Amino acid sequence: MNNHSMNQPQSERLRNLGNGNTLLKISLGLIFFTILSSAFVYAETTSVNVDGTNYDIDYTATGMSVSGIESDLDFISLIISVDVTNSPGVLDITFDRTFFDSIYDGADDDFIILADGDEPNFSETQTTSTSRTLSIELPSGTEEVEIIGSVFGRTVEEMPSEPEEISEPSSEPEEISEEPSSKQIPAAFVDPSKDPKVYVERYVTESSYKTWFEDNYSDYTFHEALDISKSELDKLIAEIEQEISEPAPVETPEQTKTTECGPGTILQDGACVLDERCGPGTILQDGVCIAQPQKSAPTTTGLGMELGYGLIAAFVVTGAIAIILALMSKASKSKN
């Protein structure tokens, strides 16, 4: 009886221990699954419009994110907006040859890659007859990646290999003539419909573009690649350097003509109008309305005095004339 009661608590403890081990295993499994999920990288596909045609691009971003891809038809390049959080972030991107490629003289050529204007580490990890895959390492904080090729929308034709001709041995050695390979004029990266000044301006102002041209088209001169003369190239360079050196014209505001108004008027909306800010009989002086001074009118007393003086003078003159006439009359009578 006592043994049975002692064995029962021990079996319960064993069952509880088993439940604890199960919970521990489940917790470890969840942690392991979370670690694997965070480290796993999913491939993505985005669409790019090139001259009205949409193309799909497959890429894998590790330690970074891609927010958009745009095409630049002037310079045959793709501009990728990224947000790199790890150092380094890795971008694996695949181009279908019918969409985007870098070809020189009929053979594959290296892509030029710029990360915020600098050249990052990259490699071409896979090359087939239909596609090319690049792996690009980007430092933390990178915002823009530009991949420069030579052609958009190329038609890829698989040419059958020609059988080798079996020639019979001859006693005389054959002369092997080496013919120089003909250059493609204009060069493969040049779009004949574009103004050559577009390429010259980038050649003059961007050192990385000039280095790319010299590395990939070392057997060309730049004017030869653009299919223009040396004098035309020098003229375009001089124009661009002059545009860079000349400061932008500064527009000076035109001086406004001031209109002066006469007394009792003010300027309003460009015209002189009556000043009605003060009441009748007052004028505005130094910002204060004061009584308008009145001109003094001639008084009636002054007029009466002037009239009296005139009458007295008239009587005096008349009396003098009368006296003179009387004397003259008396003198005439005495003579008679």
The answer to whether residue 266 is domain-embedded is: no
Q: What is the average pLDDT value for the chain, to the nearest integer?
A: 77
For the CA atoms of 111, 114, 115, 120, what is the dihedral angle to 10 degrees? 60
The answer to whether residue 60 is domain-embedded is: yes
Cα distance between residue 9 and residue 21, in whole Å? 19
The answer to whether residue 87 is domain-embedded is: yes
Same-domain status, 140 and 203: no
Residue that finishes a domain, picked among 156, 171, 199:
156
Asked whether residue 40 carries a pLDDT value surpassing 50, the answer given is no
**Of 52-56, 206-210, 277-281, the least confident:** 277-281
Confidence category of residue 43, pLDDT binned at 50, 70, 90: confident
Residue pLDDT, tens place only, 145-177:
999 999 987 765 443 344 444 445 444 545 544
The answer to whether residue 309 is domain-embedded is: no
DSSP state string for 236-279? HHHHHHHHHHSPPPPPPPPPPPP----TTEEEETTEEEE--SS-
Same-domain status, 202 and 241: yes
Residue that finishes a domain, picked among 232, 247, 262:
247
DSSP state string for 21-72? HHHHHHHHHHHHHHHHHHH----EEEEEEETTEEEEEEEEEESEEEEEEEEE
How many domains are there within the chain? 2
Same-domain status, 47 and 115: yes
The answer to whether residue 76 is domain-embedded is: yes
Residue that finishes a domain, picked among 139, 156, 173:
156
Half-sphere exposure of 146 (CA within 13 A, CB side): 14
Same-domain status, 204 and 130: no
Asked whether 145 and 115 are in contact (CB, 8 A), the reply is: yes
Confidence category of residue 179, pLDDT binned at 50, 70, 90: very low
Same-domain status, 150 and 78: yes
Same-domain status, 141 and 223: no
Which range marks the domain in which residue 202 is found?
184-247
The answer to whether residue 32 is domain-embedded is: no
AA identity, residue 300: T
Same-domain status, 68 and 130: yes
Quick one: pLDDT at residue 29?
64
The answer to whether residue 334 is domain-embedded is: no
Same-domain status, 144 and 81: yes
Same-domain status, 61 and 137: yes
Averaged pLDDT for residues 72-94: 91
Asked whether 91 and 145 are in contact (CB, 8 A), the reply is: yes
The answer to whether residue 127 is domain-embedded is: yes
**pTM of the entire predicted model:** 0.41
Residue pLDDT, tens place only, 219-264:
899 988 999 999 999 999 999 888 888 766 666 655 555 667 777 6
Same-domain status, 141 and 189: no
Averaged pLDDT for residues 297-311: 67
Asked whether 47 and 54 are in contact (CB, 8 A), the reply is: yes
**297 token code pair:** 């009118």
